[in-house]
Amino acid sequence: MGFFAKISSGLKKTKEAIKRRLFEAFSMKELDDEFFDELEEALITADVGIDATETLLERLRDEIYENRITKPDDARELFKKILIESIDFEIEDFSYPLVILLSGVNGVGKTTAIGKLANMFKLQGKSVVVAAADTFRAAASEQLEVWGERAGVRVVHHGEGSDPAAVVFDAIASAKARGTDVVLIDTAGRLHNKKNLMEELKKICRVVARELPDADFRKYIVLDATTGQNAVSQAEVFSEDIDVDGIILTKLDGTAKGGVVIAIAEQLSLPVLYVGVGEKIDDLIPFDANDFIDVLLDEE
């Protein structure tokens, strides 16, 4: 509910929102080429990408045929169902001790999401420590420290240019010593085509696996909803390199729809766990496939 309310309030502000296109498509009289063209346009404009769009429309065509549907209006519920199914995943509950690592390219919102997650766990009564493993970007650990203060959690950091794996090691040592429930790891933004930086990330993961072999270790990739088809490439490579468990989709308070996560779900079966809908500490919401598709289809 909160998710939907926040996003739709953002949407209302835009004149350009993917509009009523889908609505228009569905209120047409016939299931002709024009109908499918309208659907195609709506999906592509939402960054679903041409490949996934074609797959989804193919699926819709099949079901329309199988169910002998002749009216666009009836196709609407069907299409919604197809879309929801494509991104609805069963997610295993967390167990503790829990380690969450956030990865992703530069500027997508990793550090902010760490702050929001810290706050979320804190509110659930868990103890939290954050590892400032972005030792590269200017003022990254200062930024994280502000978030640590806001959430009221400890932040472990070393100096700029130090070894990120060592920061993680220390944070875990501290968590072990104090019996902390949750370790959150903020990493430096890195483009997935930079091999040495991806190696660094693997090393961090090895440290976690070695130091806390029995912990629940989740690795998420943070994606910016404004990103286009390159997000598929990002998810693909991060998954290959560190076996990502899921996605945090940020900046959904803008006008971009983040439809690329549908392409990613189709191709890599990666679920979205949380969405970011603003810059405040409580602007992180568990992902809900129904709401997401409602917003994508611009329905209320």
Partner 1 sequence: MGIFQNLSERIANVFEKMKNKGRLTELEIKQAMREIRIALLEADVNYAVVKSFIQSVSEKALHEEILKSLTPAQQVVKIVNEELTDLMGTKNAKLAVASNPPTIIMMCGLQGAGKTTMCGKLAGMLKKQGKNVLLCACDIYRPAAITQLQVVGKKAGVEVFEKGQIAPVKIAKEAIKYANKNAFDTVIVDTAGRLHIDEQLMDELVELKKELKPHEILLVVDSMTGQDAVTVADTFNKTLDITGVVLTKLDGDTRGGAALSIRAVTSKPIKFSGIGEKLEDIEAFHPDRMASRILGMGDVLTLIEKAESAFNEEDAKNLQKKLKQNSFTLEDYLEQLENMKKMGNLSNVLNMIPGMSNKLKGVDTEVDEKKIKHTKAIIQSMTVKERRNPDIIKASQRKRIAKGSGTSIQEVNQLLKQFEMSKTMMSRMAKNKGKLPF
Ligand X SMILES: Nc1nc2c(ncn2[C@@H]2O[C@H](COP(=O)(O)OP(=O)(O)OP(=O)(O)O)[C@@H](O)[C@H]2O)c(=O)[nH]1
Nearer to ligand X, 210 or 280 (CB): 280
With contacts defined by CB under 8 A, name the span among 25-33, 42-50, 179-187, 202-210 that binds partner 1: 42-50
Rounded to the nearest whole angstrom, what is the least distance from the CB of residue 144 to partner 1 in the complex?
Answer: 8
Q: What is the C-alpha separation between 26 and 133, in angstroms, rounded?
A: 48
| 3-state DSSP assignment of residue 175 | helix
Q: Which residue from 8, 127, 174, 233 is in contact with partner 1, where contact means CB under 8 A?
A: 233
* Tokens standing for residue 59: 């699926």
Angle between helices 289-296 and 2-13 (to 10 degrees): 10
Q: Which residue from 198, 227, 284, 298 is in contact with partner 1, where contact means CB under 8 A?
A: 227
10 touches partner 1 (CB under 8 A): yes
Question: What is the footprint of Mg ion within residues 109-138 (CB under 5 A)?
Answer: 110-111
37 touches partner 1 (CB under 8 A): no
182 touches partner 1 (CB under 8 A): no
Question: What is the footprint of ligand X within residues 164-203 (CB under 6 A)?
Answer: 189
Nearer to Mg ion, 140 or 293 (CB): 140
Print burial letters for 188-215: b (CB count within 10 Å at least 16), e (below 16).
bbbebeeeebbebbeebbebbeebbeeb
Question: Phi and psi (nearest 5°) for 209?
Answer: -60, -35
Q: Which residue from 200, 241, 253, 298 is in contact with ligand X, where contact means CB under 6 A?
A: 253
Residues 255-274 as x/- pattern, contact with partner 1 by CB under 8 A: xxx--x------x-------
Please tell me the number of Cα atoms within 13 Å of 97 on its side-chain side: 22
Give the start-end residues of each E strand in 64-215.
98-103, 128-133, 154-156, 182-187
Whole-angstrom CA distances from 190 to 137, 144, 221, 222 are 10, 17, 11, 11
142 touches ligand X (CB under 6 A): no
182, 129 contact by CB (below 8 A): yes
Site residue total, ligand X (CB under 6 A): 20
Say if strands 272-276 and 246-250 run parallel, antiparallel, or are unpaired: parallel
Site residue total, partner 1 (CB under 8 A): 52
Question: What is the footprint of partner 1 within residues 65-104 (CB under 8 A)?
Answer: none
Residues that bind partner 1 (CB under 8 A): 10, 13-14, 16, 41, 44-47, 49-51, 105-109, 136-140, 142-143, 145-147, 160, 191-194, 224, 226-233, 236-237, 251, 253-257, 260, 267, 279
